[in-house]
């Protein structure tokens, strides 16, 4: 009897679950058909509607958007949706939280299987990895050259991350300008001020760092050993890349790379730079006060500000420049991302109009997201608004937002490569070997060979 009951239950569960699944599948089948119909309907009028912003709001399609980070990208996108909705009551969009790596995995799977139907209408992609996806899957994205954005209002470097030739594929979003952040209390203990670290060279930085270490026992900088960006930021600040104009690895005979590796290794050996193993250790070195300084993309301020007991102790300035290289500057970029419209977009005209009137040209929008997300614009006119010039209490009253946007206008362009992360790993490995006593020329040759291998050469 008991056995019968169990088997009945089992069979019952099976039937129920199959019924539930069946319902789900027929449901999605019809919605898929609906999407296809909408797609074919709107694509004909896409070009015409792009020029006329008013008419495209009423199509009634719901845009889906893939992005990550509740307190940053998602919050900014939700504000954009709200603001656009205020002018276009019919507009509807849904954000689907998708971590950056998952956006990439999904894109790869869809592209390789030739079925883009599960792609969102709009996706956010990291600037450093986008080019690789565009090169591999050019039919996954929509050309945005005619979107109507005044491109001169965005830094050239930022635009270049989402461009091929003269074609624009992305709408720039957050700013990755590199800043130097320093603990003024520790600097003071060693007899320095923030001005002593402004617009200096890395050689001077090393002198100060050695002095700070001798007087306070604290490092002036920390960096991740294998995944750190410090070395690449130094190279990019010279307007140099790790590849030549044709995209081939260019490390061994590259004077800028050699100068950067040389000074970076010296700083590690002289207790100026603390090498740590992971991102978590990197954060720990900052929150525990083990290091007195940070050189990184300005988004690091978000982590800093969560360390409330260090409020008022930090100030920002420019990063140091590499000496002995003619093109060296005190500016570089690290990180940041841009919005893209996929080829699966149900209503390209609507998506373009939405991005244009929020991220593309709207200082009110950038003002609105600044206090809630801390997301700093690449849109240069945003720096002139009141919100951007407000003093930041955490940074001792400095108007850091306007300063950062101003920095982003000075960043030199460099030869980018889709193999950004591969080059980072190769160079960091070389640095480790040199610190451990290897011959610099051999180590750099090995880095160049590894990079070439990764590129499939």
Partner 1 sequence: MTEKKNVSMIQRRLIPTYIFLVIVSIISVFPLYWMISAATNTSTDVSRGKIVPGGYFMQNFKNLVSQQPLWKAMGNSFFYAILTTVVCLLVCSIAGYGFEIYHDKWKDKLFSTLLLAMMVPQVATMIPLFQMVSKAKLLNTSVGFILPMVSTPFMIMMFRQNARAFPIDIIEAARIDGLNEVQIFFQMFFPTMRSTYAAAAVITFMNAWNAYLWPKVIMTDNKSLTMPMLIANLITGYVTDYGMLMCGVLFCSIPTMVVFFVLQKQFAEGITGAVK
Q: Given candidates 29, 41, 58, 371, which one binds partner 1 under the rule CB under 8 A?
A: 29
Please identify, using beta-carbon distances, which residue of 115 and 195 lies nearer to partner 1.
Answer: 115
Cα–Cα distance, 124 to 66 (Å, whole number): 6
Please identify, using beta-carbon distances, which residue of 113 and 152 lies nearer to partner 1.
Answer: 113
The torsion angles phi and psi of 404, rounded to 5 degrees, stand at: -65, -40
Report the 10 Å Cβ neighbour count for 371.
Answer: 10
Decide if residue 36 touches partner 1 (CB under 8 A).
no
In contact, 447 and 433? CB cutoff 8 Å = no
Decide if residue 343 touches partner 1 (CB under 8 A).
no
Pairing of strands 178-183, 293-297: antiparallel
With tokens 């980070």, the residue in question is: 69
With tokens 């008991």, the residue in question is: 2
Decide if residue 85 touches partner 1 (CB under 8 A).
no
**Residue 93, SS3 per DSSP:** strand
In contact, 34 and 42? CB cutoff 8 Å = no
Decide if residue 410 touches partner 1 (CB under 8 A).
no
Closest distance to partner 1 from the beta carbon of 218 (Å)? 15
Closest distance to partner 1 from the beta carbon of 305 (Å)? 8
Q: Given candidates 32, 41, 371, 391, which one binds partner 1 under the rule CB under 8 A?
A: 32
Binding segment toward partner 1, per CB under 8 A, in 15-23, 155-163, 322-330, 396-404: 15-23
Please identify, using beta-carbon distances, which residue of 27 and 244 lies nearer to partner 1.
Answer: 27
Mask for 416-435, x = binds partner 1 (CB under 8 A): --------------------
Closest distance to partner 1 from the beta carbon of 118 (Å)? 5
Mask for 241-280, x = binds partner 1 (CB under 8 A): ---------------------------------------x
Which residues 6+ apart lie within 8 Å of 307 measured at CB?
286, 287
Cα–Cα distance, 245 to 241 (Å, whole number): 9
In contact, 348 and 354? CB cutoff 8 Å = no
In contact, 24 and 56? CB cutoff 8 Å = no
Secondary element (H or E) of residue 385: none
Please identify, using beta-carbon distances, which residue of 109 and 226 lies nearer to partner 1.
Answer: 109
Cα–Cα distance, 189 to 178 (Å, whole number): 26
Closest distance to partner 1 from the beta carbon of 283 (Å)? 5
Please identify, using beta-carbon distances, which residue of 108 and 385 lies nearer to partner 1.
Answer: 108
Please identify, using beta-carbon distances, which residue of 143 and 280 lies nearer to partner 1.
Answer: 280
Decide if residue 5 touches partner 1 (CB under 8 A).
no
Decide if residue 71 touches partner 1 (CB under 8 A).
yes
Binding segment toward partner 1, per CB under 8 A, in 63-71, 223-231, 421-429, 431-439: 63-71
Query: Minimal CA–CA distance to 253: which of 237, 242, 264, 263?
Result: 242
Decide if residue 24 touches partner 1 (CB under 8 A).
yes
Site for partner 1 in 355-394 (CB under 8 A): none
Closest distance to partner 1 from the beta carbon of 433 (Å)? 30
In 52-114, where does DSSP find H-type helix?
A: 53-56, 75-87, 100-113
Site size with partner 1, rule: CB under 8 A: 55
Mask for 305-324, x = binds partner 1 (CB under 8 A): -xxxx---------------
Please identify, using beta-carbon distances, which residue of 221 and 238 lies nearer to partner 1.
Answer: 221
Decide if residue 25 touches partner 1 (CB under 8 A).
yes
Cα–Cα distance, 255 to 239 (Å, whole number): 12
Closest distance to partner 1 from the beta carbon of 52 (Å)? 31
Mask for 96-135, x = binds partner 1 (CB under 8 A): xx-xxxx--xx--xx-xxxx-xx-x---------------
Cα–Cα distance, 299 to 313 (Å, whole number): 18
Please identify, using beta-carbon distances, which residue of 301 and 448 lies nearer to partner 1.
Answer: 301
Closest distance to partner 1 from the beta carbon of 23 (Å)? 9
- The structure tokens listed for 184 are 């003024």
Decide if residue 70 touches partner 1 (CB under 8 A).
yes
- The structure tokens listed for 251 are 């490390």
The torsion angles phi and psi of 60, rounded to 5 degrees, stand at: 80, 5
The torsion angles phi and psi of 45, rounded to 5 degrees, stand at: -90, 5
Residue 257 Rama label (left phi>0; alpha psi -120 to 50; beta): alpha
**Residue 98, SS3 per DSSP:** coil
Cα–Cα distance, 288 to 31 (Å, whole number): 52
Cα–Cα distance, 48 to 337 (Å, whole number): 29
Report the 10 Å Cβ neighbour count for 115.
Answer: 11
List residues binding partner 1 (CB under 8 A): 3-4, 6-7, 10, 13-14, 17, 20-22, 24-25, 27-29, 32, 64, 68-72, 94, 96-97, 99-102, 105-106, 109-110, 112-115, 117-118, 120, 280, 283-284, 287-288, 299-300, 302-303, 306-309, 335
């Amino acid at each position: 009897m008991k056995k019968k009951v169990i088997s009945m239950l089992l069979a019952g569960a099976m039937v129920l679950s199959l019924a539930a699944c069946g319902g789900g599948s027929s449901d999605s089948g019809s919605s898929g058909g609906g999407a296809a119909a909408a797609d074919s309907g709107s694509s004909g009028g896409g070009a015409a509607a792009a020029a006329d912003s008013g008419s495209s709001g009423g199509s009634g399609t719901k845009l889906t958007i893939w992005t990550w980070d509740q307190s940053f990208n998602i919050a900014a996108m939700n504000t954009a949706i709200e603001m656009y909705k205020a002018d276009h009551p019919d507009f509807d969009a849904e954000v689907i939280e998708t971590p950056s790596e998952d956006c990439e995995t999904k894109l790869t799977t869809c592209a390789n299987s030739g079925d883009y139907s599960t792609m969102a209408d709009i996706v956010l992609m990291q600037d450093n990895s986008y080019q690789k996806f565009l090169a591999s899957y050019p039919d996954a994205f929509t050309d945005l050259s005619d979107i109507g954005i005044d491109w001169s209002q965005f830094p050239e470097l930022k635009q270049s991350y989402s461009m091929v030739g003269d074609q624009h594929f992305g709408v720039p979003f957050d700013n990755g300008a590199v800043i130097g952040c320093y603990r003024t209390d520790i600097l003071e203990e060693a007899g320095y001020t923030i001005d002593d670290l402004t617009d200096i060279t890395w050689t001077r930085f090393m002198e100060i760092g050695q002095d700070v270490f001798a007087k306070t026992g604290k490092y002036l900088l920390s960096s991740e050993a294998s995944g750190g960006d410090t070395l690449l930021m130094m190279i990019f600040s010279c307007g140099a890349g790790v590849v030549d104009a044709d995209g081939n690895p260019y490390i061994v005979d590259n004077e800028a790379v050699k100068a950067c590796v040389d000074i970076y290794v010296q700083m590690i050996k002289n207790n100026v730079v603390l090498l740590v193993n992971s991102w978590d250790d990197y954060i720990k070195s900052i929150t525990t006060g083990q290091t007195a300084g940070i050189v990184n993309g300005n988004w690091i301020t978000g982590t800093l500000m969560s360390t409330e007991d260090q409020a008022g102790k930090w100030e920002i300035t420019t990063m140091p420049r590499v000496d002995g290289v003619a093109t060296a500057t005190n500016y570089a970029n690290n990180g940041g991302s841009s919005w893209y419209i996929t080829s699966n977009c149900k209503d390209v005209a609507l998506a373009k109009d939405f991005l244009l009137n929020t991220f593309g040209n709207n200082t009110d929008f950038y003002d609105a997201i600044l206090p809630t997300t801390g997301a700093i614009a690449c849109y240069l006119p945003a720096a002139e608004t009141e919100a951007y010039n407000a003093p930041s209490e955490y940074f001792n009253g400095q108007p850091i937002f306007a300063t950062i946007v101003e920095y982003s206008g000075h960043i030199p362009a460099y030869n980018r490569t889709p193999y950004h992360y591969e080059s980072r790993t190769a160079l960091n490995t070389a640095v480790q070997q040199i610190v451990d006593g290897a011959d610099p020329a051999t180590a750099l040759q090995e880095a160049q060979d590894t990079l070439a291998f990764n590129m499939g050469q």
